[in-house]
Structure 1
């Protein structure tokens, strides 16, 4: 009889809903969510209903925000800070499966999430500070976490999130860094989080032109050892940053989780299947996927397939010279692609595979962030 594992448990038949639920539950150990609150929302969300998604998550967020505001008026700082933190998470999640980009609730939830997170930082002792990174004629929003355990000059880890989650959602990484005396800079780049929803910035394939101003800014931050800068990219971020380090040589090491050579080609094929399916026969998630990719890539639905084909790192792999860590999991949706990426690298490199025995086999160690943090930072301590 086949042995079952925790990844066989599904909170929804919808892949995105199931993944987001597991991700959010993984944040409970950091105080960013609470198990019962998440389960209450998921039990009420109607399958494939974007209205139900944004309304249910934002309602829970608003409830916590109101509780936090009352506690703050009473000078109950701990209660206020913890409630603000969870409210921030739920406002953020409310926008992740909602495709009406011009709906005022999209911007309202984005602003509320940001404001609640800043309230949390102001009331708690968590060492984070909001920053705006100069970028072309605008800025990229982010946070600098100056570790209280760091020496006068300490390593810096710059974190790039994925397509769907925001910079703040990489908590398992920056929290692990802070506790180990490593400073962290997180940011929403073009196509991500705040930068997309409020700044209107779509993704771009030439991520070296994003990373250069980020590294420029990082070198102005207090406590940073300019000779010990590392980059980490999660999910789609793991595809984007190899191109950045192919051209950005101020970086000592790069971590991709999981890594992919031709991400755009794979997803272009998936969208081609969707477009060949008559609209009236498509499940709701297919229409959402097509619309979501077009929005985040900054093109029309008719142009998105050709746009995605630009996201191919085949030609720049031999330009990467820094040490690379490729993280992988046996339950990655595109299992096998990270190992192909690793095999193609010519630079100093390491490969880290998580299997069922570690319980961290899911996408980006989702659901097993404690284990992922331990393995990741043991490697970082040896290399950065």
Structure 2
């Protein structure tokens, strides 16, 4: 685990990665791509899903039972296997609920909620009625879990341009009368509920947490038909206004903003324009998301979609849907052009924590860190941490310890 702070100017190391024995090339390591599935996206999703186990959101046997059923990249098998598991868990939860077995019901509802979302994480038939049905089922199960378990969460609807953004406000049971707030922005594929591992880290340290589905994400995309936009400050600044008006327990001078994956690209833009952000956490850092994806796509710009490799064709379709443009490489490339923060990074003045990993699939965190002129720290998760993969997949407990010790210190909760 390596860190570098612009304030000290010295390299620091909690552990020495050079002394770690890395598995030989002929041996397959769990953190390598394609450990569970040859489809890199599915492999990462499975690792993320397993990583939610410590928070009661999944169970090992249930997840591995689905993994055993998968047939390569077959989409319908993925969707139907997770939906069948979610149905069984929801039926169990509802039966326990009817018989006043609230502990069992709350536990089963929580996992059912996760598995309904899992079915939608790899589902490209955007007009299929199951897209909305499973999203509603997931939200309903999660809300029932909150009600029965007493978990300190409240579902919220944040007004947004004639519609709303769904989210949750988590109250820390360890908070003072006025306490810091951490706002969490998910990535392109995960939902607000999937960031609970982050929220747990905040709540245990006396920090309130607000997580949400922005345009292009989760429920906001599938039910409210809201698509991504590059000027993300237009999303988060109204959200902060809403939170400060509704929740008087928030210390308005102590607001942190964290982004995961694509969210890690989006949040520096907010910090550049909204000076209420005291601390920005990018996981990982990235100067230009658009530039990286465009470089992949332009090599195939002259080929029809039908001739593209399956994974690339699915990527184009997914981007087109989430950005609200026609399903073509040309239109997706055009939509991604504005996703470049190069011109506004010098306007980020708040302290910024840049996360990275030796197993990251996006290699933009270090250049992003170097480009910042604000107080900053670079935190690299190496192999010895077991949290070296993209957004610490598979190492959420370790990640929480290192990340939140730093967040708590900077928000006065250390």
Same fold (TM over 0.5): yes
* Other-structure match for 1:77: 102
TM-score (norm 2): 0.90
Matched, 1:331 2:364: no
Using the alignment, how far apart are the partners of 2:58 and 2:106 within structure 1? 13
| Structure 2 counterpart of 1:3 | 23
* Kept in 2: contact 1:232–1:256 (CA 8 A): yes
Identify which of 302, 307, 310 aligns with 1:284. Answer: 310
Shift of the 343–359 alpha-carbon distance from structure 1 to 2, 3 Å rule, reads same
Q: Hey, what does 1:88 align to over in structure 2?
A: 113
Query: What do the CA deviations read for 1:269-291 (whole angstroms, capped 9, x no partner)?
Result: 21223444454543322221110
* Secondary structure in structure 1 of the residue aligned to 2:343: helix
Aligned CA-pair RMSD: 1.3
Of the three residues 258, 279, 282, the one matched with 1:256 is: 282
CA offset digits 1:227-286 (Å, max 9, x no partner): 100000000000001011100011111000001001101101212234444545433222
1:99-178 equivalent positions in 2, closer than 5 A: 99-178=124-203
| Between 214-223 and 272-281, the greater mean CA deviation after superposition | 272-281
Offset, 1:3: 2.4
Contact 2:306 2:313 (8 Å CA) reproduced: no
* Alignment match, 1:347: 374
Q: CA deviation at 1:93?
A: 1.0
- Are 2:152 and 2:171, in contact at CA under 8 Å, matched by a contact in 1? yes
CA contact (8 A) 2:158 2:164 kept: yes
Q: Paired residue for 2:295, among 261, 269, 272?
A: 269
The 8 Å contact of residues 156 and 225 in structure 1, kept in 2 or not, is answered as yes
Q: Which runs of 5+ in 1 are unaligned?
A: none
- Alpha carbons 2:261, 2:391 under 8 Å: kept: yes
Post-superposition CA distance 1:305-331 (Å, at most 9, x none): 111111000000001111100000011
Q: Taking structure 1 as the reference length, what is the TM-score of the superposition?
A: 0.97
Following the alignment from structure 1 to structure 2, what is the Cα–Cα distance between the partners of residues 105 and 273? 34
Deviation (angstroms), 1:125: 1.8
2:319 matched to which residue of 1? 293
Asked whether 1:382 is paired with 2:409, we answer yes
**In structure 2, distance between residues paired with 1:151 and 1:215:** 20
Contact 2:89/2:108 (8 A) holds in 1? yes
3-state DSSP class of the match of 2:344? helix
Structure 2 residue 312 is the aligned partner of structure 1 residue 312 = no
Report the number of matched residues. 383
Farther-moved stretch of structure 1 (6-15 vs 24-33): 6-15
Aligned to 1:53: 78
Say whether residues 1:188 and 2:213 are aligned partners.
yes
Q: Is the 8 A contact 1:274 1:290 kept in 2?
A: no
Q: Secondary structure at the match of 2:126?
A: coil
Secondary structure of the equivalent of 1:219?
Answer: helix
